[in-house]
Amino acid sequence: MGDPIVLPVGVSIAIVAFLLSLLPAGFFLWMWYLRNRTRNVPPTTVAMAFGIGLILVEPAFWLEKKADQIWGIISPATEHYYSGAILPLLSPLDVLLPALATFFIVAPIEEGLRYVAMRFWMSRSKRINQVFDGLLIGVAVGLGFSTLENTLYFHDLLTSQQYDTLVFVFFLRFIISTLAHICFAGLMGALIAQGTFQIFRPNKFFIPAFLIPWFLHGTFDLLLGIGYGLYAICVLIAALFVLISWTMKREFSIIHRQDGAFLENPRAPESPDVAMLKRAMKITDSPWNINAPWLNTNKSARTIYSATHEQE
């Protein structure tokens, strides 16, 4: 037998970090998409959205790093405020400078990149036919972004062998960070989809599609940065409640276009059960078998049986 293949330590750590970050992504992907039996968006489209989220991490981190360097050149004395104030808060400056960093650097960069990518994609995609599709695409993009972001955090902790901190950070980012990216990107995706299907005044959805996630993201990061994590979680819970309530909206499941072309009369997707009953009733009411009711019964039974097995 040959010698076993031994991966370099750095590669092994990177693989472990990526697998750890996939756990929360897989859980939320199952909750929002895989367990839904009537999926309008194909898996390839969701996978592509997840991949776009992964790709956006690199330019986002690069722009944030450049902004950090510029901040250090302009005001070296306040550089330590960039990523959050040192508690206790002693002056308004302790809140002002972290607010500038979160609202005018971190939040606009991350949400701006997501906004540009999703708006460009939804305006040209032939797969996104209803508002709920946009919400689902936004969730997938947010999951992709959080997955790679978590991977980088876990990689640093594994490399420095901070295993105790790793356990704490894993659950912290599992619950808080991943949910935050899901909420911000999901709300954005739903609003962009609404604007895409709006013929008149689409900007009443396109503008909030950026401003709402930007404000939520900035507020969330600021509260975490200055040590008010409980209030940050309250902001996150409110956003998550709105996102979940949107998934139950009937009007979000109205089909607005088919194969990229807008429908003249938007309609709700027909469930398989309703389609099966319609087929059975059509056979029962057929004028050809009006004098043979037993034939109608047999045909209806066969129709229901075959339709049921098609769903399985």
189 phi/psi in degrees, rounded to 5: -60, -40
Model pLDDT, residue 308: 55
Look at 90 and 189; give whichever has higher pLDDT: 189
Q: Is the pLDDT confidence value at 7 over 50? A: no
Q: Is the pLDDT confidence value at 76 over 50? A: yes
Closest residue by Cα to residue 212 from 222, 204, 201, 200: 204
Q: In this structure, how many other beta carbons lie within 10 angstroms of the beta carbon of residue 253?
A: 17
- What are the pLDDT digits (tens) for 38-61? 667 788 888 899 999 999 999 998
Q: Is the pLDDT confidence value at 231 over 60? A: yes
Distance CA 137, CA 114 (A): 11
Model pLDDT, residue 271: 62
Look at 122 and 23; give whichever has higher pLDDT: 122
Q: Is the pLDDT confidence value at 215 over 90? A: yes
Q: Give 85's pLDDT tier (boundaries 50, 70, 90).
A: very low
- What are the pLDDT digits (tens) for 235-259? 989 998 998 899 888 888 888 887 7
For the ranges 2-11, 29-38, 204-213, 277-286, the maximum mean pLDDT occurs at 204-213
Q: Is the pLDDT confidence value at 312 over 50? A: no
Q: Output the 3-class SS for 121-169.
A: HHHHCCCCCCHHHHHHHHHHHHHHHHHHHHHHHHHHHHHCCCHHHHHHH
Distance CA 287, CA 79 (A): 82
Q: Is the pLDDT confidence value at 1 over 50? A: no
Omega into 202 within 30° of 0, i.e. cis?
Answer: no
